[in-house]
Homo-oligomer: A and B are copies of this chain.
Amino acid sequence: MEDFKLYIDGQWVDTEEKAEVLDKYSMEPYASVPQASEKEVDQAVKAAEDAYNEGPLPPYERFKILKKVSELMQERKEDLALTITKEAGKPLKQARTEIDRATQTVELSAEEAKRISGEGVPVEASPGSENRMAFTIRVPVGVVGAISPFNFPMNLVCHKIAPAIAAGNAVVLKPASKTPVTALKLASLFHEAGLRKGLFNVVIGSGSTVGNQMMQDERISLYTFTGSSKVGLKLKQNTGMNKLILELGNNSPVIIDKHADIDKAAENTAAKSYAFAGQTCISVQRLYVHEEVKKEFENKFIQALKKLKVGDPNDPDTDVGPMIGEKEAEAAVEWIEEAKSGGATVLHGGTRKGALLEPTVLTDVDESMKVVSEEVFAPVVSILSFSNLKEGVKEVNKSKYGLQGGIFTQNVNNAFYAARNVQVGGFMVNDSSQYRVDLMPYGGVKESGWGKEGPKYTIEDMTEERLVVMNLDDPS
């Protein structure tokens, strides 16, 4: 069992209190990590504040360090992927993909560090301001407090840390307490790449202690968080006038139109519904299928789903592995049972073995059931139907969430009708809600969040745009 340390002010710091990290498939402890007390959190924030106050690294320096980190990430790819598989239970092939994507995230952030700039503002076009000129500049916000989830222990951390560094900020990160090792390994890459001490710090602990302390620290200027809507709201309410980036829950909808290519739609949605056991913010949860094609779609969907390999995440062929914990799997089964007792039919799956929940398909469901209206975050999909696209879109929009969605259709008018009317942050035509590439703007509406991820967009959120107006006189 390997021992890890916190990373504070460029040092590896040990503490008295420790926690074990479980292998999520065997449920055996496989690593030990220190738990930060109030002291270490304070040190980390102070280190960040001091590092920030020294003045920002030059943009080209930020570029070089982030570029180096992205290269190191590819060099250590296999080790990092195995770490994810161990501590998150994510199937290995998906873990490898995550490292590739994280590499992109850091590489893009590196490049964006060289592209931060303001714009002209034509104040001279205002009556009485003829002799003036104005432009904006972008300045870093200061210390960023980052709190990250278990489901992408590397890439969602990178989406927070890399843009923060690229923008000229300092960061304190609290990774998910179930998956802290990947984050510590990332810190070691930054260390190796030569990042100035204090600009990136990692503290480990629960949300109720470390998270709460961070939330109340006035030296932090911006919080970036991915997680539940409940905790997101708490952050909004308890961090004064600080800036926020919140990526929260979703119950992602995909529409199957009567003009769809049903084979492709079934194949695609089956794969995108169960990746990482449905534990991603945008895995397909609600399928709205046109009644004329519902039967056909259901059959093909179940056929496709049966091809998925379920089981040991260490097996490189596995598609669907365990959930993050047995408790979580139990809760999902409870929601399935609740739906069944409300009239739902289980078309496939519905049973679990430990943390391993079979890919599950429900139908005859409605909005009153949690599997439809709440974020299930498990390999559970519900099929609903509609008879007319406008009505279908209205149904989709009843959700309190709005992160991403999609439609399958060959018809250009239907595609654009849905794109313009489904209330989400991102909408896919002939693809599932689960599509994400790291350069794109990503973020939800309604209770799904605030602000955008994607390095270019996060950097905008992690800098202040200041207007400078010159009141110009004649030359002398």
Contacts and interface: CB of A to CB of B under 8 A. Distances in A.
Contact of A120 (B60, B108, B118, B471): B118
B229 A412 contact: no
Interface range for A = 35 or more
Contact of A419 (B125, B233, B468): B468
Interface stretch (A339-347, A374-382, A430-438): A430-438
B120 A427 contact: no
A364 B287 CA distance: 50
Interface of A: 58-60, 63, 100, 104, 108, 111, 113-130, 133-139, 229, 232-233, 236-238, 240-241, 243, 246, 248, 259, 389-390, 409-420, 424-431, 435, 437-442, 445-447, 449-450, 464-476
Most buried by B among A133, A238, A468: A468
A237 B229 CA distance: 14
B135 A120 contact: yes
Contact of A136 (B120, B232, B389, B467): B120
25 contacts: A58-B125, A59-B124, A60-B125, A114-B125, A116-B125, A117-B121, A121-B440, A133-B137, A137-B420, A240-B447, A390-B475, A412-B412, A412-B415, A412-B470, A414-B475, A416-B470, A417-B475, A419-B468, A424-B466, A426-B466, A427-B468, A430-B472, A431-B469, A435-B471, A441-B465
Given A119-B119, A120-B135, A136-B441, A469 B125 contact: no
A412 B409 CA distance: 8
A457 to B, nearest CB: 9
Given A59-B124, A120-B136, A410-B413, A430 B240 contact: no
